[in-house]
Every structure is written in structure tokens, then in C-alpha cells.
Amino acid sequence: MKELKENILAMEEYAKENNIPIIEKDSIVQIMKYIKDKDNHVESILEIGSAIGYSAILMASCNANVQVTTIERDEARYMECLKNVKKCGMEKRINVVYQDALELNLSEELKYDLIFIDAAKGQYIKFFEKYKNFLKPGGVIITDNLKFHGYVGESSKLDKGNLKSLVEKIESYIEFLQNNPEFDTQFLEVGDGLSVSRWKNS
């Protein structure tokens, strides 16, 4: 088995060559810091949007007790993710689910310390509303790509089209988080923009 580092570098290269939007370095470093902080008690993680497994593997690598369930709806990416999880010897720690996260029915008994939303940007509110029910008290929901390459906050300057409507949806999600009475959200200016929403019920 190759070193984790080597596998990670190979995944970064693969993502670049194949236009797979893996998380930016600064952002995953921030998330890993959160997981490694013993005060946060992170042992179970749910990820929406695995792509090739890059962020799932790095999150699992933080601590031998961490278990990750990650959901991916694209078959080719799901297969690549499985391959990478295996290469890293993490089959027992990472459960990859091949399904659309909005259609999946997880057992209601499953609860997670951290939920990472990193899938279709236009559906963030739907993911949040569905999966907040799977959060442990005191747990957090982290979301990636809230800046969306700098477009967020600038939607009024964009011409009508898919990009504008996507950016508007991310702007609505930010507003939704800011006004959500159940969660305290911090917005971090790292990478492509992260939010950390802590459930107040703890």
C-alpha cells in the first residue's frame, strides 16, 4: 500500500486532468483542524458529494476513530471513489453510497457529528433541510463553495442564465443560514468559502 500522501497527490492530479471540482487545500485543512480538535468530538461524518473520495479520505485520515459515510450520484465518480478508498486501505472506515442524496433514505437512528455538504450548489437548502435531522446535538453542518469563484454577492451584475440562477441560489442559501434560528453559522473566507453551522440544541 502506498503512503497516503502519494495517493492524495495522485488524486489531486487526476482531479485536475479530469476537471473534478475537489475542495481547495485551505478549506480541507480548516475542516481537518476542526475534526482533529478533541473538544469537537468528531467520530461520525456524513458527506454529500464524494466525487473521487478526496475530501472523504482526508477527513477519515484525521483520526483512527473517524467513520465517514459519503454519497455520490455519478457512477463513474463513485467507482473512482471506491478505488481510491481501497488504495488507501480505508474500506472499513469509509462507506461510499451510490445514490442521489435527495432520494436516499438513511435510517433515522443514524446521527452524525459533522455533515459536509459539497454537492449540487443549487440544492443546498434542500440538502440542509433534509440532513439536519441526522445531526447529533452540538454537531455542525459545513458547506463548501459559498463564494462560488467570487460570483456570490455579484449576481445582479450577471446576465440571465444558468450561472446567474446558480449564484442566486447560493446567495439565498447564505441568507437562509443567516436567518436560521436553529443554527449559529460562521462564514469562513478560506478557499472557495466555507460555512460552519452549529446546531444550537446542545
Residues that bind ligand SAH (CB under 6 A): 21-23, 49, 51, 54-55, 71-74, 77, 100-102, 118-120
Which of Mg ion, ligand SAH, none sits in contact with 51, Cβ below 5 to 8 A by type? Answer: ligand SAH
Decide: 99 and 69 in contact? Cβ < 8 Å. no
Binder among 7, 50, 70, 145 for Mg ion (CB under 5 A): 145
* Residue 201 CA: distances (Å) to CA of 81, 110, 183, 197: 34, 17, 8, 12
- Helices 4-17/75-87 angle, 10° precision: 160
Nearest distance from C-beta of residue 23 to ligand SAH, angstroms: 3
DSSP state of 53: S
Please report whether residue 72 would count as binding Mg ion according to CB under 5 A. no
The Cα-based distances of 64 to 11, 36, 104, 174 in angstroms read 21, 11, 27, 33
Closer residue to ligand SAH in complex, CB, 73/136:
73
Pick from 144, 146, 183, 191: which binds Mg ion (CB under 5 A)?
Answer: 144
CA nearest to 114, candidates 64, 45, 183, 36: 45
Among 14, 116, 128, 131, which Cα is nearest to 55's? 116
Backbone phi and psi for residue 75, each to the nearest 5 degrees, phi listed first: -65, -45
* In the complex, minimum distance from the CB of residue 202 to ligand SAH, in angstroms, rounded to a whole number: 26
Q: Which is nearer to Mg ion, 82 or 142 (CB)?
A: 142
Q: With CB cut-offs between 5 and 8 Å by kind, which of Mg ion, ligand SAH, none does residue 145 bind?
A: Mg ion
Tell me which stretch binds Mg ion (CB under 5 A): 8-16, 22-30, 34-42, 106-114.
Answer: 22-30
Find the shortest distance in angstroms from Cβ 36 to ligand SAH.
18
Least distance (Å) between residue 181 CB and ligand SAH: 26
End-to-end CA distance of the chain: 41
Least distance in angstroms from the C-beta of 106 to ligand SAH: 13
Total interface residues for Mg ion by CB under 5 A:
4
Q: List beta partners, residue 94.
A: 68
Return residues touching Mg ion (CB under 5 A): 23, 118, 144-145
